[in-house]
């Protein structure tokens, strides 16, 4: 695979921004600084070579590309959560 794969922290930051509607609240949710959230989103957009959010001051909205990417991010995070649940269940049965 030759393309830049997004890092999970970037995906989590992107989803948190959308879910909370705020860079500040996303930072609080993830126990990070607002600048770390901004940096994660900026580096995600750079690696994907597209804008995911249109920013106008403190307001922002998803671009068409951002809406599509968000759907996939939610699916990936749901699968990861399911995998963790399955691993926990296996460990409980083995223990």
Is the pLDDT score of 2 beyond 60? no
Q: Where are the alpha helices (DSSP H) in the chain?
A: 8-20, 23-30, 34-48, 64-94
pLDDT in tens, 4-50: 899 999 999 999 999 999 999 999 999 999 999 999 999 999 999 99
Per-residue pLDDT at 88: 86
Q: Where are the domains of the chain?
A: 8-94
pLDDT in tens, 52-76: 999 887 788 999 999 999 999 999 9
Tell me which CATH code domain 8-94 carries: 1.10.10.10
Q: What pTM value is reported for the model?
A: 0.89
Rounded to whole angstroms, how far apart are CA atoms 80 and 69?
Answer: 16
Q: How confident is the model at residue 1 (pLDDT cuts 50, 70, 90)?
A: low
């Amino acid at each position: 695979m030759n393309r830049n794969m997004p890092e999970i922290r970037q995906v989590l930051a992107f989803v948190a921004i959308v879910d909370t509607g705020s860079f500040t609240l996303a930072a609080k949710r993830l126990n990070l600084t607002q600048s770390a959230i901004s940096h994660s989103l900026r580096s995600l957009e750079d690696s994907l070579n597209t804008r995911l959010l249109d920013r106008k001051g403190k307001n922002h909205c998803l671009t068409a590309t951002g809406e599509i990417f968000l759907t996939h991010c939610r699916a990936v995070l749901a699968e990861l959560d399911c995998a963790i649940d399955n691993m926990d269940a296996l460990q409980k049965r083995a223990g």
